[in-house]
A and B are shown apart, each in its own frame.
Chain A
């Protein structure tokens, strides 16, 4: 049985602060961040000068729109011009205690970041909003299913757990089987994992003859790294497999920590940590500001990362902001309805219909028989785009594919303006499994 989680605030002063006070606080911090960037980071000074922006022009929060955006592309170019970190450090690299980088997939140079002792206090503290807000306390045993490398992943979560006084278990390079044994042996109460890996652990446990819902003490799961943590059908699968409550969170290497979290009320969205960030939503094409209820690209300004200022950074995340009153927890922090919905550039156009991988996942996960899936886009006869969902079925559901393929195809079409999806059966174990950042869409049209 899944028990209710306690309501708690890591920083009640700010989490319950009236919006007008919160915005006054944001403006105060924004001015200091921008002034420091202008005076200490040659990259930012040049950028601001070229845009005709001076820090003293920040008279109200609306003036943030005077500041030029920063993109990942120009950050990477800056690092190539001035290796290794670009001309954007605000203090001596001698003060850095940590180096992290993005994965550098597709042969691209990874984005590199440095942080100091102070910065890491802040990084771990941001996880406190999520952990405390979801009911994690010093009596918990937190198991971090994560490889502990240069990718920042759950590093901040690890230090937050220590800060909370919880028993913190680093699973490092263990196998899934080894992790399951340790989760049971130590009586872990909380798991940190990507949504995909939380499901994968449940699959492996089942193959080992273990029912995590009955045999483990896990009652809370902190999800991060993929949109699935806020996809209702995926979350329901995870919660059922573990008999635990699951919370979505999201962060990024560029900011060093998480930026949004789901509270114990599980409102179907994630609160933005607005006393430490300014999050804007813009139209990805025009750059114009969007309001509540409008889907667009998330743009973040961090008050915490000091070594490398992060100001109006275009994240590429697709979001829809709603007011804090959408949740009953009492926080005044705005939310992203449905969490991070995907990537702005994840959207694929198939025969005139927009398709998001997270929307496909939400439908596929409604089918209990499906163990794993993959979406493939192909171009037939040089002109006609096709979308095919390959599914692996759970062992006891093998004979159900004919009926499932019809029902799944119908559900996918209904969810996508009648677009025809092909559904095919994949051999068991043939589709890739992921620990971090699942990639379930292959666009063969681009090859």
Chain B
């Protein structure tokens, strides 16, 4: 559900922005024909932002389908 974290607390602006970043990185990694330099670095970036999302209880999922 949008606007709340894993246990139902309202998201702060920082948390909302973290989720935006996270979803944009996933969308970016889903694009076809990414050059290796873009794909590899975006994977590392996604893993780092996933950890923010995980630490702040914004989502808790597995992202192996992105090669991460």
Residues of A at the B interface (CB closer than 8 Å) are 11, 13-14, 21, 24-25, 28-29, 32, 36, 90-92, 95, 116-118, 120-122, 125, 275, 303-304, 306
Nearest 8 Cβ contacts at the A-B interface: A91-B64, A121-B47, A121-B51, A117-B47, A118-B68, A118-B47, A24-B7, A117-B68
- By a CB distance below 8 angstroms, the chain B residues around A36 are 62
Q: Is the CB of A116 within 8 A of B64?
A: yes
- By a CB distance below 8 angstroms, the chain B residues around A32 are 60-61
B55 at the interface (CB under 8 A from A): yes
Among A91, A117, A122, the residue within 8 A (CB) of B44 is A117
Q: How far is the CB of A241 from chain B (nearest CB, A)?
A: 36
Which of B51, B56, B63 is the most central at the interface, judged by chain A CB atoms within 10 Å of its CB? B51
Q: Is the CB of B44 within 8 A of A125?
A: no
8 A-B residue pairings within 8 Å (CB atoms): A25-B6, A90-B64, A116-B64, A117-B68, A121-B47, A122-B51, A304-B54, A306-B62
B57 at the interface (CB under 8 A from A): yes
- Alpha-carbon distance A21/B6, docked complex (angstroms): 10
- Alpha-carbon distance A32/B51, docked complex (angstroms): 16
- Alpha-carbon distance A306/B43, docked complex (angstroms): 16
Among B43, B44, B47, B56, the residue within 8 A (CB) of A13 is B56
Among residues of A, the one whose C-beta sits closest to the C-beta of B40 is A117
Q: How far is the CB of B28 from chain A (nearest CB, A)?
A: 15
Residues of B at the A interface (CB closer than 8 Å) are 6-7, 9, 43-44, 47-48, 50-51, 54-57, 60-64, 67-68
**Interface contacts beyond A25-B57, A275-B55: sample of 20 additional A-B pairs, CB < 8 Å, sorted by A:** A11-B55, A13-B57, A21-B9, A24-B7, A25-B7, A28-B7, A28-B60, A29-B6, A29-B60, A32-B60, A32-B61, A116-B64, A117-B43, A117-B47, A117-B67, A117-B68, A121-B47, A121-B48, A121-B51, A122-B54
In the complex, the number of residue pairs spanning A and B with C-beta atoms less than 8 Å apart equals: 58
- Alpha-carbon distance A116/B7, docked complex (angstroms): 27
Q: Is the CB of A95 within 8 A of B60?
A: no
Q: How far is the CB of B23 from chain A (nearest CB, A)?
A: 16
Q: How far is the CB of A261 from chain B (nearest CB, A)?
A: 15
Q: How far is the CB of A75 from chain B (nearest CB, A)?
A: 21
Which of A21, A24, A121 is the most central at the interface, judged by chain B CB atoms within 10 Å of its CB? A121
- By a CB distance below 8 angstroms, the chain B residues around A91 are 62, 64
- By a CB distance below 8 angstroms, the chain A residues around B47 are 117-118, 120-121
- By a CB distance below 8 angstroms, the chain B residues around A28 are 6-7, 60
Q: Is the CB of B7 within 8 A of A21?
A: yes
Q: Is the CB of B57 within 8 A of A118?
A: no
- Alpha-carbon distance A275/B68, docked complex (angstroms): 22
